[in-house]
Each structure stands twice: as structure tokens, then as C-alpha cells.
Structure 1
Amino acid sequence: MKLLAVTACPTGIAHTYMAAEALEVAAEEAGHEIVVETQGSAGSTPFTPEQLAEADAIILAADVEVRDKDRFAHLPTVTSGVKKAISGADQLVEQAVAAATAAPADRSAEPVLAVKQSGPGAASKVRGWLMTGVSYVIPFVAAGGLLIALGFALGGYQITEAPKVTEGFDWTSHLSWAALLFQLGALAFGLLVPVLSGFIAYAIADRPALVPGFVGGLVAVQTSAGFLGGLVSGLLAGGLIFWMKKWKAPRAIAGIMPVLVLPLIGTAIVGGIMFVVVGQPLAAATAGLTNWLNGLSGSNAILLGALLGLMMAFDMGGPVNKAAYAFAVAGLSTQSQTALLIMAAVMAAGMTPPLALALATTVRKKLFSEVERENGRAAWLLGASFITEGAIPFAAGDPLRVIPSIMAGSAVTGALSMAFGSTLRAPHGGIFVIPLIGNPFGYLVAIVAGTLVSAALVIALKSVGQKQKAAAETVPAPRSAATV
């Protein structure tokens, strides 16, 4: 059969392409043809009309909303999360073949007239909308945060008090350059909430929801409602526009509905609700959360670090990991001491899983396949760069041993980072922003300790599993008559 597939993850980096490769291998092994459209951060090459016309079924393996999904409405469709495609690609291919056999594609019908798929549940849809918003925010976080960090590195932490570069810029002064970098980064950070809100709305109701979503996010910033306000405004804008798109407009204004009527009415309603109704309560909730975080100290801070470490390792770049990361980044904009401690703990805990598995494959090569050993060599750089997804190939092949092991190590790393008082003002960068970390020695000790814990647990659990397998395969030899 001729199959199509779309893969997309929140960051559009690791999961997207790993899932595509797994589906291609599984389809080839099963004797089918497959073409995969990766909707990742590097853009995508859409299916050609010929591919869409000849396809028998499609697999949508995505944790975010798939773009232009109406192209596939005429095809039997299998939907799943992107991690399922990595660990169970063969099962998805089987499901697609079964769906195509049970209900062949109607090649004579217009695609939009022959919907044959059952969409995901409400919880999965909401998660997809939120992850879409997060996926568009991450490049702003990385660029803005690193610019801010470079500004601090050049000009010190007092650079926050520097005058605006528009009021005077000295080309020969390193302080002017530091101020420029810091202020550029601050501008990028100022877009985080509007971008989050806008693209959550976009995921729900497409382009007409962008303006209400962005403006709602700007109101969230104006009212100090923060990330929480951005989430609410994005869902509100998307839901409102989705409902309004169902209106049967008179033919005279139908053409201007998506470009004028929907954005205009949606912006007025969402902006008004955010300003008058929910903005201030959300601002109070955000302030309360910030005050609670600033009040954390001692064992409470250590426990928070351990919890964030568990979340970072649990799904290695999935929704739980992104929730912990978004929590850290949201606090980073306040530049409070506790927020800087949290950011350091989150990044350290996210670096630990790939480093631990790289170490394990180096120390005990016989416990891992040749492919895993190759992945282990790549995991050194991925871990050092704070790309937690480097641990996914190992977790996909042996989740019951690998995931608990890396969670334990990341919890140790997060707790120790908090205990040592390490701080971080950049939201990304891994080992390459060590000069910008407060108490870098303690930070490195926390990463090494967590890496050793995870590597030791993985090796121990795999060794036990290997011995049990060998024992089960060993058949006792029958006793001879002489022995009797």
C-alpha cells in the first residue's frame, strides 16, 4: 500500500524527525511505501497532489495541531502522539493498513467531502493546542534568553539600569554593546506571552484567531497576568473564533469574514474580557505564585528541585517536560533569585538523561545494541547542549528500566542544584553557558552526581534483566543413569 504520514512535536526538532525515520523503517519492513511530511522547526515539504491522490491511508503522529489537515479528509486516518510513532511505528503502520482495507479511500471524491477519521479526545485536543503555542514560543525563549545572558556577561548584572540604546550608543564601549544585547533580549522576552496566546488561538481556529490571540496576550502582559493570562486568552480567542466561524454569514460579507469581521469582533470581545473580567484575578494569582516561589528555602526548595527533575526526565521533551520548562521560563522574566534557582535546576536536570545513557553505553557496551551505542556517542553532545530528547531512543527500546533510572538521576540533579544555590539567567545553552551560572562548581557537581546515579541504575537494571533472560533460556540437562 501507499501510505502518508505527518510527524510534528512541540519543539519541531528531535521527536519530529525520529518519528519520521521510525515510520519509514517500519513501512519498508512491512513491504509498503510511505512518504512522511515532517512539520518541524526547519519547515516542511508538503505532499504533492499526486501523492495525496494515490495514498491509501495516512498516519498523523503529532503532539501539536497538524497544519492543513483538511488535505487528508478523504483518507482513512490513524492518529497518535509522536512518541508512539517512535516506539510503536510498526503498530501504527498495521493500523493504517487495516483502516485502508476496511474503508478504502474514495479517490473520486473531493477530500473535504469524505471525512473518515475519528479525531482525538477533548484532553488530547487541548494538549495539542497548548503544545502548539509552546512550540512557537521556544525560539523566542532561546534567542531572547541568550541575548540577555550575553548582555549580563559583557556588562554585569547592573546592565539592567543602562539607558536605552536609542538615547545614545558608543560604538567603542563594551557597555553599550552589552546594553544593546540585553535590550534586544528583553524585547524578545516581551513577546513570549503574546506569541503563546496567539498560536494557541491559531491551533484552535486557524488564521482568523491570530489577532484576537495576540492582542489578548498583550493585554495579559499589560495587566500583569503573565503566562497564565496568555494561556487563558489563547484558549478564549481560539474558542470564540471557532464558534463564530460556524455562523452562516450573508453572501455579501462572507468574503471579508476571515480577514475583517472575525478578527475585529474577536479582538474586541477577548480584549475586553481580559481587561475587565479576568486580567486582574489572573494577575493576583500570578503574583501569589511568584511570592510563594520567592518564599521557598531550605528543604522546600530542594523538594521543588527534585520534582522539576522528575518532570524533566519523565517524557524527555514531551508535555510534562515542557510544562516544567515553561514554568521555569515564566519565572525567569521576573529575574528573582528563586526563579534563577529554578531555571538552573531545570536545565541541569534536563541535561542528565542523555549524559547518563552516554556514560552507560561507554562503561558497559555489552548491555546495549550497536545502534544504542551509536546513539550513546551522539548523546554526549545532546546532553551537553540541554537536548533531553537524546535519551528517547533508549527509553523507547526499554522504557521500564530506562525511564525510572533517568528520573531518579534527574531528581538528584535538580535537588542538588537547588541545595548548592546555583542560578541561571539564560533559558538554554547547556554546558556552553556555564560562565553565566552562579556557583558553577556546585552546578557541575549536581550534573555529575545525577549522571552517575542514572547510569548506575540503568546498568544495574539491564544486568539483572539480562541474567533473568539467560536463566529463562537455559534448559537443565537430563541426569544420566550413571549419575542416578
Structure 2
Amino acid sequence: MSYMITADLVDLDLSADTKEAAARALAERMVTQGRVTDLEGFLADVAAREAQMPTGLDGGIGIPHCRSTHVTEPTLAFGRSAAGIDFGAADGPADLIFLIAAPAGADDAHLTILSSLARQLMDSEFTSALRTVSDAETTAALIRGDEAPSTAQTPGASSGEGAETDASAGAADTAGAGANGANAGAGAAQGAVGAAGASEDTAATPVAASAGAAAGTTAPAPGVADQGSTPAPGATASGERPFRIVAVTSCPTGIAHTYMAAESLENAGREAGVELVVETQGSAGFTRLDPAVIAAADGVIFAHDIPVRDKDRFAGKPTVDVGVKAGINRPVELITEVREKAARGERSAPAPASGSTPVERAGDSTEGYGTKLRKWLMSGVSYMVPFVAAGGLLIALGFAIGGWQVNKAPSVMDHFVWTQTDSWGALLFQIGGVAFKFLVPVLAGYIAYGMADRPGLVPGFVGGAIALDINAGFLGGLVAGLIAGGVVMGIQKVKIPAPARGIMPVVVIPLISSAIVGFLMLVVIGKPIATAQKGLTDWLNSLTGTNAILLGALLGLMMCFDLGGPVNKVAYTFATAGIAVSNPSDSAMKIMAAVMAAGMVPPLAMALATTVRGKLFTPAERENGKAAWVLGASFISEGAIPFAAADPLRVIPSAMVGGALTGALSMTFGATLRAPHGGIFVVPLIGNPFLYLVAIAAGVCATTALVVLLKGMRKPTPEATATDPAANAANTPKDTKQPVAA
């Protein structure tokens, strides 16, 4: 196979001033080399990936990437910008840009390149060499691992430039925000990018962290275990061997930060003279550490933003539990902390007995249930968001192409004409409708998964599907997921005879938990929700024609109260029922317009707030904010759920104020709408479209102003300022635990 990067794929004088222009310049080199067959199609795939989550990393790095049908083989292009290009990193523009292209379906190759690059970029000598190297051939060889960083730098450049930081301060260096002076040597750059088929997920990367290693011993290449540093089972802590630490790193996307934290911890361990073994729980799964390695460890570090899988393996040892960014930015402090805990004899809770719940093993033993509840909810939301985006946009495109009556089109299985736009609109609408049906079951299923691990999936999905059938919506899914997780936890507390334990996770737990959750959802929860919906609908009908402005404000409040939940659904159903006739009345179309306008406000306002005052939001929220522009414009209120789940007391009231204002203005302006969905894609079907957009803009501005004001009034938490250098510098509040994305 040809090299993944050659001199022809290197631009050391990249003149682009935007990330789009940079991607185009590097992609053109790929086209010239025959690596990309369709430039515009490939760039569209790159842009689509960039819209999901910014690809900028701290330390001046940009890694735009995608899988595309227009790529012939895994390829990497590199550009160096003197002025810097904004790729969305918290610490500013990127001067080192890596464009990664993988063929469609080449997941292993794609993740291999990403994770390997992430590890290399934590080596300050490697990034320093990239910033000083003077010719393309040497640059390509350096990235491939054919050239050592120390020999690749131009004459006069110090091989250790930028490598050292003040370890006692725990500060991040400019090349990777956390390498803390570690010199991984040539081995960290060796071959990681040069083999597309290599497995990216490192099960265990032991580091022989002696004084000699710090002086020049190379680190193992990603995915290769250094058997010489594996602790022998039964070894005791003494002066004859270094202190031993096992660590787990993970992040919501499971690519860059997972491996950057691993590399940072390994480098710091090498400097501190300890043996440190990391288990990276990445996108492609993970391979468990050898139980003998865990048993021989003197301490444990968890650097994670999602629950650590099989956490009970590490029970009973001195443990430090932090977010993944702390693993990148403060590795020396974490190692010092775990050693101090070991010296004091502090231990985490012992491994739970058989039958205890996985939720009792999730998170630090000192975490309150409020923190755990937030993690459970965010676990469900993170899996739900892609379904929201895909389904909602397909529905909106269906309305845009097929017209407002596309929801009444027959199944495309029975009628589809290739040359008719109506058929294509119906196809998109029906696919989106199917995707949307997964929202609540996925939300409930993965909340239960966050609580009870895999045994919670079946009752969670069953409860979520029932919540969908009874029109319980988002809140119904939350309740179903929590009930399912709690039921499974309760079942797991029951002591089971050893011969029957084998069938528990396969037969007994799914059967009993699904029956209990189904009973509670259908008999106990369903009836109150149905009664509440009917009562609210009757009340709304009584207001029609008496006070249109009040009705618009009320509908706006309801649309923004629970973002797709039962109250939202009552308002939406009330509006759609009015236009679900052959000749809807003018008042019915005004109500539909007010409802859709108000429903667009929360995600658009969150997107605007993260743009104008990004420092008030976590990096994950800023990334979600970019997607919220599209979701809000498409009338997908659920685009604001990640923000509401993370900060409900500030976000929901602000959204309700903006929604009420928009609903009232829409009714005042007399805007009408015949389509039940579509957002800006159905503007041609709106009466008084200009004033309608003014109403939406007014509500968005009001919500944005309130959110910024309320978030600006809160005090920064000690944890946020301690673990987030960007927040420290800006003196703004920031969470270290990122909600999950996209």
C-alpha cells in the first residue's frame, strides 16, 4: 500500500484564512494525487463532519476529517499556517492542520489515524519539529515516523523547545496542553499513521517510567504493549520497583481526547518515575487490562467524561477520579494525588458483591446522586441527539421538497415515481418519521444503560417505546429510563443461587424488568398523562378567538417548557389538529404558525448564546451550539435539550420567556402556516413571512440575553477553575465534565 502521506500532500505555507479554505487547499492536493475522486463531494463530507463537532484541539492543532465515498484510500494531508486558522479550539487558532480522509466504511483506518495523531500531538518535540521543519519531504517522513523529531528540526532549533513546563503548577504546555515536559522520543511518532489497517484501540500501553526512560527511552507505539514494564503478579510495594498506576481514559466521542489524556498521563508517569498503564475506552471499543496488572497496581486514575466500563475491576485501591481534560492538563498533579492517597492508606470501596448494581460502581464514591443523575440523563441524551438531527432534518427536507401535504402521501412502498419531486419529498419525510420514532426509546434505553449497564437496555427501550405510544414524549422517556434502571438495580440486589446466575442477564432480568416497566408506564403513568393532555387541550380550545395574543404567549410557554415533552406535545397537537382538515380556518393557521415559531426559539437562542458569549459554556456545549443553529432553523426544539439538561434553572425559564414573546408577536402580526413542521424550509407556505421571522428573531434575542445574564451571574466553581486552563485564564465558570455530543 502507498504511503498515507507524501511530500506532495504537505503545504508548509498554507495561505488559507478559514477552515473551509484550508480544507479545500489540502483536498486539492489529494485530488491531484488521485486519492480523492470528487473534490466538492469530499468537501461536503468534511463540512458535514465539522458541523457535528469542531475539530480544533488545544495547542494550535486542527484535524478536519471524514469518511467519504469519494476517497480511494486512507490519506493524510498536512498544512502549516503562519497566521493561524480558527477550528473551534478554546485556546485560539490552529497553525498545524491535518486533513484526514478515509474511504467510506473504513472505520478502523479512520479511527487509527485519529487516535494515533492525538497521541503524537501530545509530544511537544513532535509538534515543535512540525513548526520548524523547512521541507515537505522531511515533514512527511516525520509524520509517518520515518524521521525522528530531534533530527527533523531545522538547524538552530532546540530539540527540546517548548517541551518543559512548570510541573509543580500543573500547567499545560503550548504544544499539547499537558505533556508536562515529557519527551516521548522518536518511538511516539513511529508508524502510528503509516498503517491504515492497524487497530487504533490500545488495550494497555505500559510505560517503563524510570529515570533512564525520562532521559531518552522511547515510548511504546500505540497499540503495542511494552511487556518489559508489565508488573509481575504478586509484587509488593518496595524500593526495588517503581510506584505502579493503572489508568482509564474516555471522552464522549472516544477519539482525540481519550488518547491525548492517555499520552499525557504516560508522559507524566515517565517523568515521575512510575510505571503507568492506560486502558483507553475509545470509539472502537476497548480491551480490558490484564487482571494481574490491575492487581499489582498501587493506585488508579480515572480521567473520563462518560462512565468507566467495568469499574469494579479497580475497586479497593487508592483512586483519583476526574474529567478527561484534567488527564490532559494536570497529569503530574493526578499522579501526585494518587501517590499521596496511597501513602495515607486511602482506598476506594471494595468490589461489590455479586448482585449489587452497576450504578453503585459508577462514579466516585463521594459523588452525590444529583451528580450521578446528571450523568445518567446525559448518557441518554448523547445517544438521542443524532436521531434528533437526522430525523428532524429529513422531515423538514420532505416538507420543503414535497409541499405541506407530504405528510398525507401514501407509503413510498406502494407509490414512488422516480421523476416526481413529490415522491422524493415523501421518501425523505417517511424516512425521517421512522428515525424520529427512535428518539424516546433511545433516550430511555441509554438512561437505563447509564444506570444499570447492559441489563438496563431492554426494559429501557420497552419503556421508551411505550412512552412514545402514550404520547408521553421527552419527559416520558426520562421517567421510563429512570424506572427501568431502578428496576434492574433492584433485581440485581436479590441474592440468586449460583446455578441460576447464568440465565439472569439473558432471560430473567429482561423478562421481569420489562414486565414491571410496561405495567408502570401503561397503567400508572399513562392515564395521568392522557388526562392532563385532554384537560390542557380543552382549556386551549376555550381560549380560541377570545384573546389571540394571550393564546400565542401561552402556546409559546408550553412549547418551550419541556422541549418535546407532554406539555410541548399538547400545544403541538392542538395546533396540528386545527389544520388537519381540507380547508383550515385562518385562526387555526395562525395558531400553527405561533407554535412552530416558538418551538424554534430555544435551540436558536442557545446557538446564539454560545456564539456571543462562548466562555459561559463548556466546550461540549459550544459544539452542540453549532448543531443547534440547524436544528432550531428546522423546528427541532430538542436541539436545546443538552443545554436544558445541564442547566435547567437558567435555560428553561429563559426559553419560556422568548417562546412566549415569539408566540404573542406571531399572533399579533397575523402570520399563518399550513404545514405542521419544517421551520425555515416552509417559509414559502407562511403568511406574512417577514413579520414572522421578526417575531422569531425577537424571541431568540430575548432568550439569549436572559441566558447570558443568568449564566454570567453564577460564580465559577473551584473544580472548573482548577481543571480548565481556559476558564482559569478568563475567570469564567466552566464545567470540567462535558455533556456528550455529537
Percent identity of paired positions between Structure 1 and Structure 2: 38
* Residue 373 (structure 2) pairs with residue 131 (structure 1): no
1:3–1:35 contact (8 Å) kept in structure 2 = yes
Name the CA shift for 1:329/1:128 in 2 (closer, same or farther; >3 Å).
farther
Q: Does 1:59 align with 2:302?
A: yes
CA distance in 1, matches of 2:396, 2:556: 22
Report whether the alignment pairs 1:72 with 2:314: yes
Residue number in structure 2 paired with 1:475: none
- The letter of the residue matching 2:314 is F
Is residue 606 of structure 2 the alignment partner of residue 350 of structure 1? yes
Asked if structure 1 preserves the Cα contact closer than 8 Å seen for 2:444 and 2:460, the reply is: yes
Could you report, residue by residue, the CA deviation over 1:195-239 in whole angstroms, capped at 9, with x for unpaired residues? Answer: 222222222222233222222222223333333333333222222
Q: 1:159 to 1:282 in 2, by over 3 A?
A: same
1:285-296 equivalence runs, <5 A: 285-287=532-534
TM-aligned CA distance change 1:280 to 1:407, over 3 Å? closer
Correspondence 1:153-164 to 2 at 5 A:
153-164=400-411
Structure number with larger C-alpha Rg? 2
Q: Distance in 2 between matches of 1:128 and 1:262?
A: 23
Q: Deviations over 1:417-438 (max 9, x none)?
A: 55654999889xxxxx754566
2:358 paired with 1:102: no
Name the structure where helix makes up a greater proportion of residues: 1
1:208-219 alignment runs, 5 A limit? 208-219=455-466
Q: Secondary structure at the match of 1:57?
A: strand
- Tell whether the 8 Å contact from 2:657 to 2:703 is kept in structure 1 after alignment: yes
Residue 343 of structure 1 and its aligned partner are, at CA, apart by 2.8
Residue in structure 2 matched with residue 190 of structure 1 by the alignment:
437
1:218-233 paired onto structure 2 within 5 Å: 218-233=465-480
Give yes or no for contact 1:196–1:231 (8 Å, CA) kept in 2. Answer: yes
* Corresponding residue for residue 506 of structure 2: 259
> Measured at CA, do residues 171 and 140 of structure 1 come closer, stay the same or move farther in structure 2, by a change above 3 Å?
same
1:232-253 CA deviation, whole Å, 9 max, x = no partner? 3322222222211222333443
Residue in structure 2 matched with residue 268 of structure 1 by the alignment = 515
The alpha carbon displacement at 1:307 in A equals 12
Partner SS for 2:496: coil
Task: Please tell me the residue identity of whatever aligns with 2:309.
Answer: R
Name the Cα RMSD after superposition.
5.6
Alignment partner, residue 150 of structure 1: 397
Asked if the contact 1:352/1:409 (under 8 Å) is kept, the reply is no
Q: Letter of the aligned partner of 1:282 in structure 2?
A: I
Q: Which one of the candidate residues 422, 444, 447 is aligned to 1:175?
A: 422
CA 408–253 in structure 1, closer or farther in 2 if over 3 Å, else same: closer
SS at 1:202 equivalent: helix
Amino acid at match of 1:355: T
Which secondary structure does the structure 2 equivalent of 1:248 belong to?
Answer: coil
CA distance in 1 between partners of 2:498 and 2:705 (Å)? 68
**1:143: how far off?**
1.3
- Residues 324 and 65 of structure 1: CA distance in aligned 2, closer, same or farther (over 3 Å): farther
* C-alpha displacement of 1:152: 0.9
Distance change in 2, residues 1:330/1:298 (3 Å): closer
How far 1:112 moved relative to its partner?
Answer: 6.8
Match of 1:398 in 2: none
Aligned to 2:731: none
Aligned partner of 1:187: which letter? V
| Structure 1 residues 17 and 384, CA gap change in structure 2 (3 angstroms) | farther
* Structure 2: distance between partners of 1:442 and 1:385: 18
TM-score (norm 2): 0.44
Query: Within 5 A, what are the aligned runs for 1:389-400?
Result: none
Assess if the C-alpha contact under 8 Å between 2:319 and 2:347 holds in 1: no
> SS in structure 2 opposite 1:166?
coil
What is the CA–CA distance in structure 2 between the aligned matches of 1:325 and 1:55, rounded to whole Å? 47
**Which one of 259, 277, 281 corresponds to residue 528 of structure 2?**
281
Relative to structure 2, which stretch is displaced further, 276-285 or 347-356? 276-285
Name the count of aligned residue pairs: 409
State the partner residue of 1:4.
247
* Cα deviation code 1:262-295 (max 9, x no counterpart): 2112222222232233321133235556777897
Q: Which moved more, 1:328-337 or 1:172-181?
A: 328-337
Deviations along 1:123-170, one digit per CA (max 9) or x if unpaired, are 223332222222222221111111111111111221111112222221
What is the CA distance between 1:79 and its match in structure 2?
4.0
Distance 1:90 1:217, change over 3 A: same
CA contact (8 A) 2:475 2:565 kept: no
How has the CA–CA distance of structure 1 residues 409 and 181 changed in structure 2, closer, same or farther, with 3 Å as cutoff? same
Q: Contact 1:417/1:442 (CA < 8 Å) preserved in 2?
A: yes
Tell me the CA shift for residue 342 of structure 1.
3.6
Q: Structure 1: how far apart are the matches of 2:264 and 2:659?
A: 37
Aligned partner of 2:430: which letter?
Q
Q: For the structure 1 residues 425 and 59, does the alpha-carbon distance in structure 2 shift closer, same or farther, using more than 3 Å as the test?
A: farther
| Distance in 2 between residues matched to 1:87 and 1:410, nearest whole Å | 35
Whether the 8 Å contact between 1:73 and 1:117 is mirrored in structure 2 is: no
Cα distance in structure 2, aligned partners of 1:384 and 1:352: 8
Unpaired segments of 5 or more residues in structure 2?
Answer: 1-242, 354-360, 577-591, 633-638, 644-649, 687-691, 713-742
Which consecutive unaligned segments of at least 5 residues does structure 1 have?
310-322, 361-374, 393-403, 428-432, 460-484
Check 1:271–1:413 CA distance in 2 against 1; reply closer, same or farther (3 A cut).
Answer: closer
Q: Which amino acid aligns with 2:460?
A: G
Question: TM-score scaled by structure 1?
Answer: 0.63
Flag the 1:383–1:243 CA change in 2: closer, same or farther, 3 A. closer
Q: Does 1:141 align with 2:384?
A: no
The 2-side partners of 1:36 and 1:290 are apart by: 56
